[in-house]
Amino acid sequence: MASSKTLLIVYHSMTGGTRQMAEAARAGATQETDVVVRLLHASDAGPADVLAAEGFIFATPENLAAISGQLKDFFDRCYYAALDRINGRPYATMVCAGSDGQNAVRQIARIATGWRLNPVAEPLIVCTQAQTPEAILAPKQIGSADLERCRALGEAMAAGLAMGVF
């Protein structure tokens, strides 16, 4: 039997929305028994975790039209250690945004391009419409339809890894 592959889901969440999305992706991915799924907070993930994974899901809130500082810190800590060592591995992006999430998507895509990762899904953006300081800072509750999209992304990533599609 071939050795199992690892899907690494790295996330940061301030108000719980991105955490719910990442957990839903993990739930979907764990349906694939031939894939080890690791869900790590960005502050806990490091270069060894990146190097040990065959695929990635990066999940972040969009803060001030950018990825979160903690996800940026993760990339800063891991970037050079992984450079030219993870070329071609698949990745997907999930963003919990108050308005559109596109700048966070672009930032992750630029970093992934530098790592020479292969995007295998359209970025998944959940827009909460939080536009006031109170709404932005309030705990989020992601709806079931959006959580199902996240679950399906995790399931597809794990299935693709298990089947050797990517």
pLDDT at 109 over 60: yes
Q: Are β-strands 55-63 and 66-67 bridged in parallel, bridged antiparallel, or unpaired?
A: antiparallel
Count of structural domains, the chain: 1
Three-state DSSP class for 93? Answer: strand
**How many C-beta neighbours within 10 Å does residue 122 have?**
10
Alpha-helical (H) ranges within 15-164 are 17-29, 47-52, 69-82, 102-115, 133-137, 144-163
Quick: pLDDT tens for 30-88: 999 999 999 999 999 999 999 999 999 999 999 999 999 999 999 999 999 999 999 99
Between 1 and 106, name the one with better pLDDT. Answer: 106
| Residue 2 pLDDT > 70 | no
Whole-angstrom Cα distance, residue 60 to residue 43? 12
Q: What is the pLDDT of residue 82?
A: 98
Q: Exposed e or buried b for every residue in 96-109, given b needs 16+ CB within 10 A?
A: bbbeebebbbebbe
The predicted model scores a pTM of 0.97
Average pLDDT over residues 113-133: 97
User: What is the extent of the structural domain holding 98?
Assistant: 5-163
Tokens found for residue 32: 């694939």
Report angle CA 110, 55, 24 to the nearest 5 degrees.
95
Q: Tell the burial category of 16 from Cβ atoms under 10 Å away from its Cβ (0-12, 13-18, 19+).
A: middle
Q: What is the CATH number of the domain that holds 133?
A: 3.40.50.360
Environment class of residue 119 by beta-carbon count within 10 Å: exposed (0-12), middle (13-18) or buried (19+)?
A: middle
